[in-house]
Amino acid sequence: MLIKALCDYYDVNEKKIEKSESEGFFSTQQVSFMIFLSKTGEITSILDIRKEEKVPAGKDKTKTIYKPTDIRLPKRSQKTGIDLNIIEHRPLYIFGLNYDKKNCIFTPNDDTHKAEKSHNIFVKGNLDFCDGIDSDIVVAYRNFLMKWEPAEQLENPHLIKIAKDYLSSYYCFALEGDERILLHKDEGILNKYVKQAKDNLDDQSTSVNSMCPIEGDHLPTARIHEKIKGIKGGNPVGSVLVGVKNSAFESYGKSQGYNSSISEIAMKKYTSVLNGLLADKNHHLYLEELTIVFFAIDTRDEDVSRIFAAMLSGTEESNLENGLSSMSREISQGRVGDVSALKTNEHLMFYVTGLTPNSSRISQKFIIKDDFGRILKNLSQHQKDLQIKEVSKQLPVWKLTKELVSPKSRDGNAPSSIISALFFSILNGTNYPVSLLETAVRRVKTDSDDDKSSFIKINDTRISIIKACLNRKARINNEKEEITMTLDQGNTNQAYLCGRLFAVLEFIQQRASGGGLNRTIKDAYFSSACVRPATVFPKLVMLAQHHLAKIDGAVYFEKMMGSIMASLNGEFPQTLSLDDQGKFIIGYYQQNNSLYTKKTETQD
């Protein structure tokens, strides 16, 4: 489904996708520095072309980063090891020098002679390629290749100036005095490169033809699929989405990509589109170890994808038209927006897929295909299910997943299986995964508050998750939704009542001690009371009698305890199921909020 959808996207947006890049001959590289060459081949300057950008750095703070410029260059070789590239952008190949950060010096030497070998193959290959092209920038480039001797450039002032960024940056070439005359845009270079690339492709082609399941015709089959770059945690040079390397996975005598029967045409389409989406911040986002890619097969793809990105990341998309921006805010607050603001068919097809890397290729964790209007309504319902206050801020998915991990965890990442299942349920409007409720309840029972924060164990986000799981399950099963946003004194669920009672008992203990306890009954008994109320509450109720004797307004609290226990019929449940444990936690949270946010009226 994904490959077909990407090819359909290509067909709809063909004019927006540069033809040469769609053929797989070019790729976008993030370039930091522009090397200016004189016509005689000397480096006259190296210009920093990174863009200054302000990014969030904590509450109400920002920091400045320097973002490289995206430049379209001839596609880098995908072979492992040292290999020839036309118009190289990597420092070892261009300059033939390593930079010793410890001693702050440039050196042409290393144990494997990689810098020397890389530079030599780069010089020879590019001199051969440039033969017969006589534009000013190519002449300067050719002279640079012939004159540059790495061993003689250890004190080059232009390299010393960028020493700290030397190895981590990519480079491009321009003619001295005019940054518009660029090597990678030279017409002679481009024409010759594209012709050679096509010739090489024809030379590599075979007579293996098969019925392409994407194009629906007998076409040459792609033996090796182009690599995809931009998957979080994946190989920096890219990974394949379709690939067969081991003979155990081959069938009918076919090897490598011939097993898939995907044609060269379809392969070029889907790889160019997917690489483009992964390079566009409005078409993908990262969540823990998962890379989420989304797009619409429609001319309004840009707008709807930006709305979707804003919904998931928790940001307000201020650059949208007024109607779209207003709809974005409504959805984030749990209200279904008017999809007519899209000025297009609300039934346009929208795709969302989750991708993760493994040792050899990209793994697709899930894919969702649905009307964009329905996805908007499901996103809105998701936010409504999470609400625990009349006015609540949007809870992005990344904030939910952070609460599923112990604060003592080393990597701080939730399992990708939970994240994938959570996404699937949000966008399809189905039950949240059981593992979501299990994990949230377990975190409440096992985590501990500390001196710096009293809201680790039970906080608004964890309560939102538990409430959403319970109410969505009840609604889908046509049951009464028992959990309201505030304290529900009419709720007679035994687990909810036990949670309320626990909050009252803790409040009484705190009042009796003057609020100076380092360890309350919540620290000692909360987990046990949440699972086996009958074994804990008799002891706690007896303890509360001693605390009541020390506080003013004891009668008021005795009546409150008595009212809750009367609803329990004087008996505590022996054990609580997972759902009931969630109700216990919410009962405790809502009763606790009521006790601390409202002035308690004591009665004699």
With the CA atoms of 412, 417, 422 and 424 taken in that order, what torsion angle do they form, in degrees rounded to the nearest 10?
Answer: 150
Residue tagged 């029972």 (tokens): 445
In this prediction the pTM is: 0.71
Q: In the 8-state DSSP scheme, what is residue 76?
A: P
Of all residues in the chain, what percent carry a pLDDT higher than 90?
41
pLDDT for position 603? 42
Token duo for residue 96? 């033939």
536-594, pLDDT tens digit by residue?
Answer: 999 999 999 888 888 888 888 899 999 999 999 888 999 999 999 999 999 999 999 99
Q: How far is it, in rounded angstroms, from Cα 505 to Cα 551?
A: 13
Neighbours of 363 (CB within 10 A): 14
What tokens appear for 177 in the block? 């005095």
Q: What is the pLDDT of residue 440?
A: 94
What is residue 432's DSSP assignment? P
What band does 204 get if pLDDT is binned at 50, 70 and 90?
low
Q: Which of 374, 402, 292, 389 is nearest to 333 (CA)?
A: 389
**CA dihedral for 97, 101, 105, 110, sign (positive or negative):** negative
State how far the Cα of 264 lies from the Cα of 279, in Å rounded to an integer. Answer: 23
Residue 325 has which token pair? 């921006």
Cα–Cα distance for residue pair 274/283, rounded to 1 Å: 10
Contact of 541 with 505, CB cutoff 8 Å:
yes
When pLDDT is cut at 50, 70 and 90, the band that residue 493 belongs to is: very high
Beta strands in 395-522 (DSSP E): none
> Cα separation of 220 and 211, whole Å?
9
Q: Which two tokens stand for residue 455?
A: 């809201």
Residues with Cβ < 8 Å from 295, sequence gap 6 or more? 5, 9, 277, 283, 301, 305, 350, 351
The structure tokens 């924060």 sit at 453
C-beta of residue 2 within 8 angstroms of C-beta of residue 53:
no
pLDDT at residue 249, rounded to an integer: 53
Find tokens 């003979």 and name the residue: 247
Q: How far apart are CA 193 and CA 85, in angstroms?
A: 11
Average pLDDT in the 388-398 region? 80
